[in-house]
Amino acid sequence: MEGPRFKARRSLICDANSHQCICETLRSVYDLIHDFPESEWKRKITDLLIDALMMGKKMDARLVYYQKTYGDDTGNKASDLKFIDSNSKTREMRRARTI
Give the predicted TM-score (pTM) of the model: 0.88
Strand partners, 83: 19
Distance CA 83, CA 68 (A): 24
Neighbours of 29 (CB within 10 A): 15
- Mean residue pLDDT across the chain: 92
**Amino acid in the structure at residue 10:** R
Q: Using one digit for the tens of pLDDT, what is the confidence trace for 32-67?
A: 999 999 999 999 999 999 999 999 999 989 988 988
Q: Which residues have C-beta within 8 Å of that of residue 93, sequence separation ≥ 6?
A: none
Distance CA 52, CA 71 (A): 27
Confidence of residue 1 (pLDDT cuts 50, 70, 90): low
Q: Which residues have C-beta within 8 Å of that of residue 60, sequence separation ≥ 6?
A: 21, 22, 23
Of the two residues 79 and 77, the one the predictor is more confident about is 79
What is the pLDDT averaged over residues 7-26?
95
